[in-house]
A = this chain, B = another copy of it.
Amino acid sequence: ASDRLLGHSSTQSSHRLLAYSDALISIIATVMILPVAHTKMEDDEELRQSVQLLLTTKIAVYLMTFLIVTVAWAAHIRLFQVIVRIDDCLALLNLACMMLITFLPYTFSLMATFPENILGILLFCGCVMVIGVIQSVIVLYAFSRPFLLSEHVQISENQTFYKHHILKVIMRVPLMCLFASIFSFIFFQLSYVLLAIVIFLPYISQCLKWCRSKAIGQVDESPESMLFYTYLPNEPLSKERVEAFSDGVYAIVATLLILDICEDNVPDPTVVKEQFGGSLVAALQVYGPEYLAYFGSFATVGLLWFVHHSLFLHVTKTTRFMGLLNTFSLAFVGGLPLAYQLTHEFPRNSRNELEAIQISCVIIFFAGIFQLCIWVAALYNEQETLHPYVRYGGREHAFMLAKLALYPCVALGTFFLTCILSRFSASIFHLMEITVPFAFLVLRLLVRVGLALLRQIFCPDRSDLRT
């Protein structure tokens, strides 16, 4: 502990503050799936209609919240890569900042429900501007006490230059929000365009930059950009914080369904007495499908976490692009409990049930395929980003590919099977849920057998040489 209390008695390592912030932000990012999940679906109504109703507002709110919160989180990472030590004052300022970030999802739901009312826009812009002011205060405070800064900045000669640069970067978004709130009084459609730019610009510019660098080769970094290395958007994300954020999302998503079950699925004693003749077992059998949904979604989320964990064990550096792919994967993971709940809400063999099962498969597929994409993106730059074991030709390369490809393949297979054998869709889906955990247990064996078979088929001579 003595290394956590440095020099100044009031100075502390920022580790736990960051872990707490990560936990808060990951919960907030996934929370907006709850209004989606709690939308009542009538049995007589077609799923297609209610899904369309959902798609227009609630799912949009969920995805937008997820993206804007991850933008705020990325900014938070960058800020605390410059400020590596904290004191009481910074901790309190950071908490104030967190309080406003957790309020952002609500302003989004207001915007989605009342798109023509400017109150939602004004509230959102107000929050963002106050967050910007607090972050500027954090920067000014930290630069007034240089022992809080990272060593790189501490020993640098042009600290004030740094300070102004960081302040400029931080105030960019609040300034755009100020314009958006002013325009909202004149022509509110323009404000939405401005806000969309705020949310998507970092992602789009990142994608473009990545594509360009792949197309025309690595762009020379100017000496000036090297100077500001610690505050450029193409700087790698802290791997620890990406892991902490992902853990938070996986944990909250895995437990979302038990929240509902604990609250809604305890029958009323009088109902049990009157409708089920006092038999609790009979009363609980009504809820049977919901328990199944819980265990199914917990297992799927848990296994996706397991794949993520295995992948990041072998990742040595997280680029921004990998972080973006991770965000997309997590956004789909957040939708899983909803999809699983839907699969058990409709009568057996109805068209609604089939569609719900297919939606689940699509969500699992995308959650898995984006995890695979993280690895593929890492392979493009494998010298810097990956452990030798999982690079091309590494001894864990094939095994990692199998782990990452298992869920997308299974989801795709289930999807097409349910298209063909639509009458048995529920059975196929449940069979998939039960088989996959065991598949992970014996995966290493399967990969070895598969590789041996491939060697036997394609180059029997070399396989003989190897053994």
Contact = CB atoms under 8 A, between A and B. Distances in A.
Contacts of A350: none
Interface of A is mostly: helix
Interface stretch (A88-96, A145-153, A169-177, A226-234): A88-96
Interface in A273-311: 280-281, 284, 294-295, 298-299, 302-303, 305-306, 309-310
A1 B314 contact: yes
Contact of A302 (B32, B98, B248, B302): B98
20 contacts: A1-B387, A5-B313, A5-B314, A9-B396, A10-B444, A16-B243, A19-B244, A20-B247, A32-B262, A34-B262, A88-B310, A88-B440, A89-B441, A91-B306, A91-B309, A95-B305, A102-B258, A105-B258, A109-B262, A248-B251
A444 B38 CA distance: 47
Given A259-B34, A440-B92, A12 B119 contact: no
Contacts of A9: 389, 395-396
Contacts of A4: 313
Contacts of A247: 16, 19-20, 23
B102 A298 contact: yes
A196 to B, nearest CB: 21
B309 A17 contact: yes
Given A23-B247, A38-B263, A106-B258, 8 more contacts: A16-B243, A19-B243, A31-B259, A31-B262, A88-B306, A106-B262, A110-B266, A110-B280
A359 to B, nearest CB: 22
A269 interface: yes
Contacts of A460: none
Nearest to A310: B88
Contacts of A213: none
B20 A23 contact: no
A47 interface: no
Contact of A263 (B34, B258, B266, B280): B34
A89 to B, nearest CB: 7
A215 to B, nearest CB: 30
A2 interface: yes
A96 B105 CA distance: 33
Interface string A308-336: 01101111100000000000000000000
B280 A114 contact: yes
A356 to B, nearest CB: 22
A117 interface: yes
Q: Of residues A117, A295, A315, which shows the largest number of chain B Cβ atoms within 10 Å of its Cβ?
A: A117
A102 B299 CA distance: 12
A60 interface: no
A24 interface: yes
Contacts of A110: 266, 280
Contacts of A316: 1
Nearest to A252: B27
A28 interface: yes
A366 interface: no
A231 B27 CA distance: 34
A360 B60 CA distance: 37
Nearest to A123: B284
Contacts of A130: none
4 tightest A-B contacts by CB?
A23-B251, A95-B302, A1-B316, A117-B280
A113 interface: yes
A202 interface: no
A450 interface: no
A383 B453 CA distance: 63
A393 to B, nearest CB: 14
A272 interface: yes
A413 interface: no
